[in-house]
Amino acid sequence: MSTPQFKNTSVDLSGLLKVLSENLYSQSEVAIRELVQNASDAIGRRRLQSSDEFSPRIDVSIDSSEKTLTIVDNGSGLTADEIEQFLARIGSGFTRTIKTPENDFIGAFGLGFLTAYMIGKRVVMETTSVNNPAVGSCFVSDNGERYIVSQTEPGPIGSRVTVHMKNSHENLSDFDEMEGVLSRYCRLMIAPIHLQENDEPINIAPPWRVERDDEPLIRRQDRRKEFAELMESRFEPLCTIPISSDDDNRGAGLMWIHNSSTFGGADNRWMQIYVRGMMVCQNKHEFLPSWAGFVSGVYESRVLSPTASREDLQTDDEYFDAQEHVADNLIKGLAEIARTQPETWRTILRRHNDALLGAAIADPALYEVLKDDLQLPTTEGDLTLEDIHARSPNGFTVTTHTDGGADEVVARAFGTPVILGYRYGAAAMLQRYAEETGTDIIELGTSEGHTRLFPSQTVSGETQALLSDIFGETGATLRYAKFEPDYLSVIALVDKEQQLKAFYESDDADRDMNAGVLRLARAFTKKIDPESPVQLVLNLGSPLMQLLIARGDNKAKSAAQIMLASARMLGTRKALGADGFIGAMQTFNAHLMTLLGDADE
Amino acid sequence: MNDDIHDWVMDMFREMLANDQREMAYKIEAFNSAAFASDMEAVEASFPELLAYARSNENAWLEIFLRHWRLQAYLGTPNDPRPLVTEALDLVAFAHKDNTMDCPQRICAIDDLNGIYGSIDAAGYAGERLEMLNEVLATTPNMRECYSCLTFGKIGVLLDLGRAEEAVDVFDTAVREAPAVGSSVRGKYYYRSLAEYVARAYIETNRTDDALKLLAKCEPPKPYTQTEVDLLFVMAYLQKGDKKSAHDAFQRVSSIKEIDNIYLKRLVEVIPLATDAKLIDVDDELVQRLLALAEGASTRGRSGEAFDCAHLVVSLSRKLNNEDAATKAIMIMEESLPSLNRQDSAKKTLSATRQTAL
């Protein structure tokens, strides 16, 4: 038996190029970005390798008649050996060998130059190295599979790459198209990039690179706003929040708040990510906290790692650190605006109150910033939590139902603002504030809420018997309480658990419901003491109730039925349904007529 | 009639956009995403408003959709399930009214009830849950998505009853006969259920290779569910006698220290196997950690898990002669007992545990 031997794997170069060019990158225009980035890295290398003074410059030109794209840089250039070593060997990037966190090199994979073959049928590079300025080299390759390197007369130090475009990519030799691509990907690069020899470079200097601490704040704010307006395409920026850090390894950038009204839960986040000046993600919205639906921004980092295609980021520790950095800056920025720009802060609150409510619930740090300023919807209009707190001596009152019952009438009569818990974020925000301040919450429509609003009174057996006689067979449980306002003499309330008990233990449930469900339901409902689902709370503090007790005659009984009917209509309309409501109306009318008849007599 | 509630919601969403109700439409969409991610802060922020919207428009289907997904979101957290019982029963009652009889999510309200009682005392309520699910499955067309949901629920209940062979049969039959189940098996959405129920059933019936194959295919939709999958890997590899792979899988379980109550049921199954195979030492640290988890489960109303975990703590404490931990664990068992439905068996277990431990 022969000994197994290691053999070299072989590469189908044309197949590999096809895969790289067709599958690694989603759009052919990224070839332009890659070539400009190579030029930018070459300039960085020249700074590193040589002490000569030079003004960095990249020129991009297109010739629509010749269908060529030319990129010229005055970077380090390449020697013939370097061409062999790095240009003609896939995956062997020059930049990777010298890249450190301190410099601004972008390349890492040695794949960028290949993208030229996505758009070009022939690629020519004429180059003169800073390390050997007396000799020039020329690299020519058709489709990337074969190439020629020849010695030429030396040119200026740097490289000139000419791409002869494929017919399918002729659109890239259009000026507007090229300007759009360069603006999109390269405008934050540091080396000036000139299109068609225009004196004005396409680059812009982002605020975080040019701001000085000794500049007036207003100047810095104007510059930030100007930058935000330039970058934002969907919303007018209302104000800006810088992203900064004392740590050089953390990124910098700018965020802005949208000057358009949003609703709670709306997600209009937009975040563009640059790595060392090159745009990597057109919109990485998840880089912003999930609650920041009203924020856009631009973030530039030296340490984030792009994926091989450089169209996304690797989700590594640096990524999560940067996300946290952005969130911290956003919260600090909002706090700063609240403190120093009251007018702007009021506008933010007006525009995004609901969204901020949701945000405050989601983030404890943001809650601290917002809790004093956000407004909650109440029966008395929108009020801050502090205002509501001051006007709610017995605890916060909240309703989660749009059809307020008798208990809401009581709460209103006290002059207590009832928080409309059915509006976005209101109940959840209130819950957090109540926990923090140790304040009770009285939830209308619940047993606990009823107990708080209508404190029970002990009544003698004699009075109980009298009241039972006056009110007759009500089909409801009578409760005795004393509460303000005293013009409410009877309140009808529905007990949810009793309602459930009545339903699940009824014959109807036997007929309609799954037997397994009934077993589980009845295991629960058997623990509930049987009472009527409707409770009638008699207000013993009411003068009318006292009069009924004092009279105890037929007139009192008729009046009691009228009071009951009106209480049912007021408090349990939904629970009674249409038939019950009509029944209560009929009772109301019939007893009123009896009373009037008695009066005639 | 639309058989798929998600299609129906999407249709409603488009209709709302067309009728200039953009804000509410997007809120419903955001609620749906938040509920699926069990992001309770986001769910609770928008739920009351959306419910009020559904009620004011007398849109009973939307009301069922919202209430069901809120319950599901809550069940995806380790929080106390007991306060949900009233709401779940009310939802079932609401979903059985005349105007909601055609709503496809009517059935899902029953699955909510199954989930809640499964969280309180899975084994104790297994009989009632099985009866309930059998009845619903018998009347649910098998091409509906909810049929597969209920089928996975039934597999889980059968496992709680110790009827693993039957659980596997149910799964095999359902995949063979119900197109919806077949497609769900392939969809990511149900992988958690697969990991939890079907793979567990395979392990119980010694179909270890099938379990491993299934687990290898699992792509949990949420990162945290990977822990569940890894715990099952440990069980399967140990059953196969592959201690090295079991060890690797156990290492992947983030750390017993960080494990959440949500995996407690599985952890309680895995720990005795892992200690026997010496993947983890029985020491005071492990006992204290499990004790804390049992306490947490008890506080959160997960009485069945609390009882079983505390029972495990007692047996581990005996090995260490840690009387203090055993006493605390027995107290947790006593506290959990009243909420259990399996009163007879739990009382016997508690009595035997007391005798041997103290």
Question: pLDDT-derived band of residue B282, with 50, 70 and 90 as boundaries?
Answer: very high
Pick among B33, B36, B49, B96 to test the A interface (most A CBs inside 10 A): B49
Strand residue runs (E) in A129-263: 136-142, 146-152, 158-165, 193-195, 237-243, 252-258
Answer whether residue A488 is part of any domain.
Answer: yes
Task: Enumerate the residues of chain A whose CB falls inside 8 A of the CB of residue B134.
Answer: 516
Q: Do residues A85 and A99 both lie within one domain?
A: yes
CA distance A520 to chain B (A): 6
Give pLDDT tens digits for A57-66: 999 999 988 8
A531-545, A575-589, B12-26, B94-108 — which is least confidently predicted? A575-589
Answer whether B26 sits within 8 Å of A265, measured CB to CB: yes
* Predicted confidence (pLDDT) at residue A196 exceeds the cutoff of 50: yes
What pLDDT sits at residue A100?
A: 59
Closest residue in chain B to residue A498, using alpha carbons only: B86
C-alpha triplet A411, B89, A419: angle, nearest 5°: 20
User: Quick check: B23 and A266 CB within 8 A?
Assistant: yes
Residues A174 and A75 occupy one common structural domain: yes
Nearest CA in chain A to B29: A265
Mean pLDDT of B330-342: 93
Is A578's Cβ below 8 Å from some Cβ in B? no
Q: Which residue in the set B39, B56, B136 is minimally distant from A402, CB to CB?
A: B56
Please report residues of B whose CB lies closer than 8 A to that of A496: 86, 90
Q: Distance (Å) from the C-alpha of residue A317 to the closest C-alpha of chain B?
A: 16
What's the whole-number mean pLDDT along residues A118-124?
A: 87
Asked if the C-beta of A270 comes within 8 angstroms of chain B's C-beta atoms, the answer is no
CA distance B241 to chain A (A): 32
Q: What percent of chain A has pLDDT above 90?
A: 35
pLDDT at B119 over 80: yes
Residue A226 at interface with chain B, using a CB cutoff of 8 Å: no
Cβ-Cβ contacts under 8 Å, B87 against chain A: none
In sequence order, which ranges of B19-83 are alpha helices (DSSP H)? 22-36, 40-56, 60-75
Asked which of A3-7, A203-207, A210-214 is least confident by mean pLDDT, the reply is A3-7
A27 and A118 assigned to the same domain: yes
pLDDT of B179: 66
Going by pLDDT thresholds of 50, 70 and 90, the confidence category of residue A109 is very low
Please indicate whether, in this complex, the C-beta atoms of A519 and B128 are within 8 angstroms of each other: yes
Residue B207 has pLDDT above 90, yes or no: yes
The answer, yes or no, to whether residue A95 has pLDDT greater than 60, is no
A351, A400, A422, A494, best to mutate vs chain B, most B CBs in 10 Å: A422
Q: Which tokens sit at A47?
A: 């700074």
Residue A98: is its pLDDT beyond 70? no
* CATH number where A576 lies: 1.20.120
Q: How many domains does chain A have?
A: 4
Chain B closest-CA separation from residue A496 CA (Å):
8
Q: State whether A425 and B46 contact (CB < 8 Å).
A: yes
Say whether residue A520 is in contact with chain B using an 8 A CB cutoff.
yes
The residue assigned the tokens 């609003």 is A453
Q: Which residues in chain A have their CB less than 8 angstroms from residue B129's CB?
A: 516, 520
Does pLDDT of B315 surpass 80? yes
Q: What is the pLDDT of residue A390?
A: 93
The minimum CA-CA distance between A361 and chain B, rounded to whole Å, is 6
Kindly state whether residues A378 and A289 are assigned to the same domain.
Answer: no
Per-residue confidence band for B223, with pLDDT thresholds at 50, 70 and 90: low
Mean pLDDT of A564-569: 78
Residue B185: predicted pLDDT:
54
* Banded model confidence at residue A91, pLDDT cuts 50, 70, 90: low
A365 touches chain B (CB under 8 A): no
Based on the fold, state whether residues A224 and A320 are members of the same structural domain.
Answer: yes
Please report residues of B whose CB lies closer than 8 A to that of A515: 131-132, 135
C-alpha to C-alpha distance for B113 and B149, rounded to whole angstroms: 13
pLDDT of res. A296: 96
Question: Does residue A151 share a domain with residue A18?
Answer: yes
Same domain, yes or no: A417 and A482: no
With a cut of 60, say whether residue B34 has pLDDT above it. yes
For residue A188, the model assigns a pLDDT of 94
Q: What is the mean pLDDT of residues A285-308?
A: 90
Three-class secondary structure assignment of A400-422: CCCCCCHHHHHHHHCCCCEEECC
**Residue A293 φ then ψ, to 5°:** -65, -10
Put simply, the answer to whether B130 touches A402 (Cβ < 8 Å) is no
- Residue A264 touches chain B, beta carbons under 8 Å: yes
The more confidently predicted of residues B224 and A416 is A416
- Neighboring chain B residues of A426 at a CB cutoff of 8 Å: 48
The rounded distance, in Å, linking the Cα atoms of B293 and B311 is 12
**A·B CB contacts under 8 A:** 112
Inside any domain, residue A337? yes
Is the confidence at residue A596, as pLDDT, over 70? no
Query: What's the CA gap between A294 and A270, in Å, rounded?
Result: 9
For residue A585, is pLDDT > 80?
A: no
Residue B188 has pLDDT above 50, yes or no: no
Mean pLDDT of the A267-290 span: 91
Lowest mean per-residue pLDDT among A207-221, A536-550, B238-252, B259-273: B259-273
Q: Residue A183 maps to which CATH number?
A: 3.30.565.10
User: For residue B298, what are its two tokens?
Assistant: 């008890």
| Contact (CB<8Å) B52/A357 | no
> Rounded to whole angstroms, how far apart are CA atoms B174 and B180?
9
In this complex, which of A264, A516, A520 lies closest to B27 when CB atoms are compared? A264
Q: Is the distance from CB of A329 to CB of A238 less than 8 angstroms? A: no
| pLDDT exceeds cutoff 70 at B121 | yes
Taking alpha carbons only, the member of A317, A320, A448, A466 closest to residue A395 is: A448
Q: Which of B39, B132, B341 sits opposite A516 (nearest CB)?
A: B132
Query: Has residue A93 been placed in a domain?
Result: yes
Tell me, what's the pLDDT at A309? 73
Which of A 407-436 lie inside 8 A of B, CB atoms? 421-429
A104 is in which domain, residue-wise? 14-195
Q: Do B89 and A265 touch (CB under 8 A)?
A: no
| Residues of A whose CB is below 8 A from B51 | 400, 422
- A305 found inside a domain: yes
Sorting pLDDT into bands at 50, 70 and 90, what band is A601? very low
Residue A554 pLDDT greater than 70, yes or no: yes
Look up residue B7 and give its amino acid. D
Determine how many CB atoms are found less than 10 A away from the CB of residue A1. Answer: 3
User: How far off is chain B from A482, nearest CA to CA, in Å?
Assistant: 29
Considering only CB atoms, B135 lies closest to which of A263, A515, A524, namely A515
Tell me, yes or no, whether A440 and A459 share the same domain.
no
Give yes or no for residue A88 having a pLDDT over 70.
no
CATH number at residue A219: 3.30.230.80
Burial A315-342 (b: 16+ CB within 10 A, else e): eeebbebbbebbbebbbbbbbebbeeee
- The predicted structure's pLDDT at residue B14: 86
Residue A118: the pLDDT is 80
Count of C-beta atoms within a 10 Å radius of residue A248: 11
Which residues in chain B are closer than 8 Å to A402, comparing Cβ atoms? 52, 55-56
Q: Given a cut of 80, is residue B344 above it in pLDDT?
A: yes
Q: How far apart are CA B193 and CA B198, in angstroms?
A: 7
Same domain, yes or no: A71 and A157: yes
Q: What is the pLDDT of residue B107?
A: 83
**Which chain A residues contact residue B34 at CB under 8 A?**
265
Which pLDDT value is given to residue B187?
A: 47
Please name the residue that has the structure tokens 């707190």. A389
Confirm if A128 and A136 have CB atoms less than 8 A apart: yes
pLDDT exceeds cutoff 50 at A429? yes
Work out the pLDDT band at A450, boundaries 50, 70, 90.
Answer: confident
Rounded mean pLDDT, A292-319? 87
Is the Cβ pair B130, A504 closer than 8 Å?
no
Q: Which of A135, A165, A195 delimits the end of a domain?
A: A195
- Residue A461 and residue A442 share a domain: no
- pLDDT (mean) for B343-349: 93
Quick: pLDDT tens for A352-408: 988 898 889 888 889 998 999 999 999 888 999 999 999 998 899 998 776 666 666
Per-residue pLDDT at B234: 94
**pLDDT-derived band of residue B189, with 50, 70 and 90 as boundaries?**
very low
Report yes or no on A546 lying in a domain: yes
Q: Residue A368: what residue type?
A: E
The answer, for B276 touching chain A at a CB cutoff of 8 Å, is no
Where is pLDDT greater, at B330 or B262?
B330
**Are A520 and B93 an interchain contact pair (Cβ–Cβ within 8 Å)?**
no
Task: Look at residues A26, A17, A32 and name the one whose alpha carbon lies nearest to residue A119.
Answer: A32
Predicted confidence (pLDDT) at residue A489 exceeds the cutoff of 70: yes
Mean pLDDT score of chain B: 85
pLDDT, residue B11, reads 85
Yes or no, beta carbons of B45 and A503 under 8 Å apart: no
- pLDDT interval class at A434 (50, 70, 90): very high
Domain boundary at A290, A322, A354, which?
A: A354
Q: Are A357 and B45 a contacting pair at CB < 8 A?
A: yes
Judge whether residue B259 has pLDDT over 70: no
Chain A residues touching B125 at Cβ < 8 A: 520
What mean pLDDT comes out for the span A158-185? 88
ipTM of the prediction = 0.81
Please tell me whether residues A185 and A254 are part of one structural domain: no
CB burial of B340-350 (b: ≥16 within 10 Å; e: otherwise) equals bbbeeebeebb
Chain B residues in contact with A497 by the CB 8 A cut-off are 86
Q: For residue A288, what pLDDT band results from cuts at 50, 70 and 90? A: very high
A568 or A184, greater pLDDT: A184
Task: Take residue B356 and report the two structure tokens written for it.
Answer: 């041997």
A162, A195, A228 - which closes a domain: A195
Average pLDDT over residues B261-268: 83
Residue B132: list chain A partners with CB under 8 A: 514-517, 519-520
Q: What is the mean pLDDT of residues B85-96?
A: 91
- Distance (Å, whole) CA A465 – CA A481: 16
What's residue A53's pLDDT? 87
Nearest CA in chain B to A517: B132
A171/A65 same-domain check: yes
Return the higher-pLDDT residue of B148 and A297: A297
Mean pLDDT of A442-449: 81
CA distance A29 to A183: 12
Under 8 Å between Cβ of B132 and B113: yes
Chain A residues within 8 A of B117 when measuring between CB atoms: 520
Q: Is residue A547 situated within a structural domain? A: yes
For chain B, the domains span 281-358
